[in-house]
């Protein structure tokens, strides 16, 4: 494999630095804009090269010392070697480039990124991988591009302190566990009150014995407020001890004149990993929706009502669609908890639910969607049937967002504005909110 020197020009989606060797694009992980790097070419494709950093000939001024001792080996973070201001600038540029390339969204439609107030210690939810090596459990995350478990030392730099306490206790528990080689993954999720639920994934056949072992060793997991065993799909969750749901709040100052909204989600249900940035998302969505109390709102992929319930405060009616039934139950319960009486939640896969509502002639003034990373290609082409004056698309993947914007354009909608949100500091991932309107009433971009 040949070696070469490359000047890193910028960062690319996926986390690698980008440069050129003899005019050919080259991507090198763990480099920074401004680096002059000596690399080894590990892979050569028709249109690009992939390199491995060997030596920094001239380091970039954007570089900072990474706080995690396994950074560069663990696949959890990409950019701990970059200043936070450098990360934000890179995300702004990457987001703008991707939306132009795949959705033809002009850069003047892209608003400044919302930074995180805590670039470290923010994650309230982690999926820990487990590997048993000569009887010793290794607990951590996969190495980038592999299924090799990197054992994390003591704490994870981006995890919340309450989650890190659980990680330490899990390490002690796994050292005593009867079948550590039958535990591929352990999930830990935290509410904003620092209560934590742990889900231990088990692939063995001694399920009842393992439940009894956990119940007899609750003192080892003293920081866990709820413990569950899962031996397949989420439907196999077995309660070991403790609470069954977690909660987070939406402060009253987010929605003018409305008291704090308290939202619960059950064990195994989805929640954002960064509660402070989730509030920023909700604030943006509610502000851009422009509700006056007369509108009908449709919320696709609604989960536990994360957006539906705050929006319902200023809408005539809100309808939420979600295919995971426990999340629908959470959403209904959250309405009762918060005194919301104008929201309806339907358990349905998004595409099927949209078709059913459209066939029934339903109309909505605002349609919100917050799909998984794969996007909503099977849904967005049918949203125009509802005649919305506003579409709000919350995305965790700018590539699929750009693709779906292209589909919405064919239905007569145009991007008014889009704002990236840094939900995941130290990584290349980008959350965002995008507002679209019919071309005939397309308004000027406003901040």
Q: How far apart are CA 347 and CA 166, in angstroms?
A: 33
Domains and CATH numbers, the chain: 3-63 (2.40.50.140), 92-117+273-441 (3.40.50.150), 125-190+196-242 (2.40.50.1070)
Give the residue numbers marked as catalytic.
396
Give the mean model confidence (pLDDT) for residues 391-400: 97
Whether the per-residue pLDDT at 411 is higher than 60: the answer is yes
Predicted structure pTM score: 0.93
24-50: b or e for each residue (b if 16 or more CB lie within 10 Å)?
eebbbbbbbbbbbbebebeeeeeeebb
What pLDDT shows up at residue 233?
77
Whether the per-residue pLDDT at 364 is higher than 50: the answer is yes
Q: How far apart are CA 251 and CA 242, in angstroms?
A: 27
Give the mean model confidence (pLDDT) for residues 146-155: 89
What pLDDT shows up at residue 447?
46
What pLDDT shows up at residue 441?
65
Query: How many Cα atoms sit within 13 Å of 286 on the Cβ side?
Result: 24
Specify the 3-state DSSP secondary structure of 136.
Answer: strand
CA dihedral 446, 307, 230, 143 (to 10 degrees): 10
What pLDDT shows up at residue 327?
95
CA dihedral 212, 213, 217, 222 (to 10 degrees): -70
Give the mean model confidence (pLDDT) for residues 214-218: 96
Q: How far apart are CA 129 and CA 149, in angstroms?
A: 6
Spell out the alpha helix ranges (H) of 237-338: 275-289, 308-312, 325-338
What pLDDT shows up at residue 144?
84
Cβ(342)–Cβ(315) under 8 Å? Answer: yes
**Residue 103 token pair:** 């959705």
Spell out the alpha helix ranges (H) of 10-137: 84-103
What pLDDT shows up at residue 145?
83
Whether the per-residue pLDDT at 274 is higher than 70: the answer is yes
Whether the per-residue pLDDT at 55 is higher than 60: the answer is yes
What pLDDT shows up at residue 354?
96
Specify the 3-state DSSP secondary structure of 143.
Answer: strand
Compute the residue count for the chain.
447
Residue with tokens 């308290």, as numbered in its chain: 262
Q: How far apart are CA 415 and CA 301, in angstroms?
A: 21
Query: How many Cα atoms sit within 13 Å of 435 on the Cβ side?
Result: 24
DSSP letter for 217, please. Answer: T
Which helix (H) or strand (E) element contains residue 165? Answer: helix 161-176
Whether the per-residue pLDDT at 10 is higher than 80: the answer is yes
Give the mean model confidence (pLDDT) for residues 200-216: 95
Q: How far apart are CA 447 and CA 431, in angstroms?
A: 18
Q: What's the pLDDT tens digit per position in 424-447? A: 999 999 999 999 999 976 544 444
What pLDDT shows up at residue 147?
87
Q: What's the pLDDT tens digit per position in 223-267? A: 999 999 999 877 788 999 999 999 999 988 777 767 889 999 998
Q: Which residue, among 48, 58, 61, 57, has the nearest Cα to 19 in the 3D structure?
A: 48
Strand order in the sheet with 413-421: 343-347, 317-322, 296-300, 366-369, 390-395, 431-438, 413-421
Whether the per-residue pLDDT at 407 is higher than 70: the answer is yes
What pLDDT shows up at residue 154?
81
Phi, psi (deg, nearest 5) at residue 67: -75, -20
Give the mean model confidence (pLDDT) for residues 191-212: 95
What pLDDT shows up at residue 442?
54
What pLDDT shows up at residue 234?
72
Give the mean model confidence (pLDDT) for residues 61-65: 97
Specify the 3-state DSSP secondary structure of 414.
Answer: strand
Residue with tokens 């851009």, as numbered in its chain: 288
Q: What's the pLDDT tens digit per position in 316-349? A: 999 999 999 999 999 999 999 999 999 999 999 9
Q: What's the pLDDT tens digit per position in 124-133? A: 999 999 987 7
Among residues of the chain, what percentage have pLDDT more than 90? 88
Q: How far apart are CA 433 and CA 92, in angstroms?
A: 13
């Amino acid at each position: 494999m040949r070696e070469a020197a490359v000047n890193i020009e910028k960062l690319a989606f996926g986390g690698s630095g980008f440069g050129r060797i003899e005019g050919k694009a080259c991507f090198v992980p763990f480099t920074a804009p401004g680096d002059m790097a000596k690399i080894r070419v590990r892979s050569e494709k028709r249109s690009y090269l992939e390199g491995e950093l060997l030596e920094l000939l001239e380091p970039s001024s954007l570089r900072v010392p990474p706080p995690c001792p396994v950074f560069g080996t663990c696949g959890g973070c990409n950019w701990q070697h970059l200043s936070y201001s450098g990360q934000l600038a890179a995300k702004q540029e990457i987001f703008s480039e991707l939306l132009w390339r795949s959705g033809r969204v002009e850069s003047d439609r892209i608003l400044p990124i919302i930074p995180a107030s805590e670039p470290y210690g923010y994650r309230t939810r982690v999926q820990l991988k487990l590997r048993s090596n000569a009887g010793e459990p290794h607990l951590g995350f996969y190495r980038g591009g592999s299924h090799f478990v990197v054992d994390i030392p003591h704490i994870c730099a981006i995890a919340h302190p309450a989650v890190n306490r659980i990680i330490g206790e899990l390490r002690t528990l796994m050292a005593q566990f009867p079948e550590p080689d039958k535990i591929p993954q352990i999930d830990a999720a935290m509410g904003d009150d620092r209560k934590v639920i742990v889900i231990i994934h088990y692939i063995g056949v001694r399920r009842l014995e393992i439940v009894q072992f956990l119940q007899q060793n609750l003192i080892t997991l003293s920081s866990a407020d709820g413990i569950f065993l899962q031996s397949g799909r989420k439907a196999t969750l077995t309660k070991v001890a403790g609470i069954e749901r977690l909660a987070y709040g939406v402060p009253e100052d987010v929605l003018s004149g409305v008291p704090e909204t308290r939202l619960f989600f059950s064990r195994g249900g989805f929640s954002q990993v960064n509660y402070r940035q989730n509030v920023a998302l909700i604030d943006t969505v509610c502000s851009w929706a422009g509700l006056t109390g007369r509108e009908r709102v449709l919320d696709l992929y609604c989960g536990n009502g994360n957006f539906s319930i705050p929006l319902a405060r200023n809408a005539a009616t809100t309808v939420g669609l979600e295919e995971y039934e426990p999340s629908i139950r959470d959403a209904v319960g959250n309405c009762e908890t918060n005194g919301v009486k104008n929201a309806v939640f339907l358990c349905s896969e998004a595409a099927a639910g949209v078709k059913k509502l459209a066939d029934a002639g339903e109309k909505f003034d605002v349609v919100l969607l917050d799909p998984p990373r794969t996007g909503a290609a099977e849904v967005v082409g049918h949203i125009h049937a509802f005649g919305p004056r506003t579409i709000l698309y919350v995305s965790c993947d700018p590539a699929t967002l750009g693709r779906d914007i292209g589909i919405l354009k064919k239905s007569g909608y145009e991007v008014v504005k889009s704002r990236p949100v840094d939900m995941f500091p130290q990584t290349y991932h980008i959350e965002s909110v995008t507002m679209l309107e019919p071309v005939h009433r397309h308004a000027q971009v406003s901040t």
